[in-house]
């Protein structure tokens, strides 16, 4: 690794993590205060998040009405992966994703949107992203 690469990586990480870390913290606070649901950044808590997204979907809420909470749930799942595996947030062009130590890229925010569409699972994404081969 060159010194230039390390410097660029160190400068990118805090900036890339800032927004998703805040989105995750916001959804944790909102769920605790509004829904009386405690999210503790554990892999097990993603069962609850998947169920909450399913409830929102069943209520047929328009996507625009729940876009921010879905982004928050995705960021929360990303933070679970970061804490479980030592992954890092990366960002480009306004998109945020997770890079696990093995170099794989994951998009938990998009996975939350897929959950809302009935085709995803943040719990399973976390399981796959934190699995050691």
Q: What is the pTM of this model?
A: 0.87
Kindly report, residue by residue over 48-58, the tens digit of the pLDDT. Answer: 999 999 999 99
Query: What is the full per-residue pLDDT of the chain (133 aa) written as tens digits?
Result: 444 444 444 444 557 789 999 999 999 999 999 888 899 999 999 999 999 999 999 999 999 999 999 999 999 999 999 999 999 999 988 899 999 999 999 999 999 999 999 999 999 999 999 997 5
Q: Which residues pair with 114 in a beta bridge?
A: none
* Cα 120 to the center of its chain, rounded Å: 13
Host domain of residue 103: 3-130
Domains identified in the chain, total number: 1
| CA distance linking residue 119 with residue 133, whole number of Å | 25
CATH number of the domain bearing residue 21: 1.20.120.1090
104, 109, 110, 116 alpha-carbon torsion, rounded to 10°: 140
| CA distance linking residue 24 with residue 1, whole number of Å | 32
Q: Note whether 74 and 95 are within 8 A (CB).
A: no
| CA distance linking residue 9 with residue 37, whole number of Å | 35
């Amino acid at each position: 690794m060159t010194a230039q690469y390390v410097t660029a990586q160190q400068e990118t990480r805090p900036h890339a993590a800032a927004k998703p870390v805040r989105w995750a913290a916001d959804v944790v606070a909102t769920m605790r205060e509004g829904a009386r649901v405690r999210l503790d950044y554990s892999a097990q808590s993603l069962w609850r998040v998947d169920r909450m997204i399913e409830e929102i979907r069943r209520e047929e809420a328009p996507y625009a009405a729940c876009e921010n909470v879905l982004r928050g749930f995705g960021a929360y799942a990303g933070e679970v992966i970061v804490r479980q595996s030592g992954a890092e947030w990366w960002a480009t062009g306004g998109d945020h994703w997770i890079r696990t130590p093995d170099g794989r890229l994951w998009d938990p925010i998009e996975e939350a949107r897929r959950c809302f569409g009935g085709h995803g699972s943040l719990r399973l994404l976390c399981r796959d992203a934190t699995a050691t081969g």
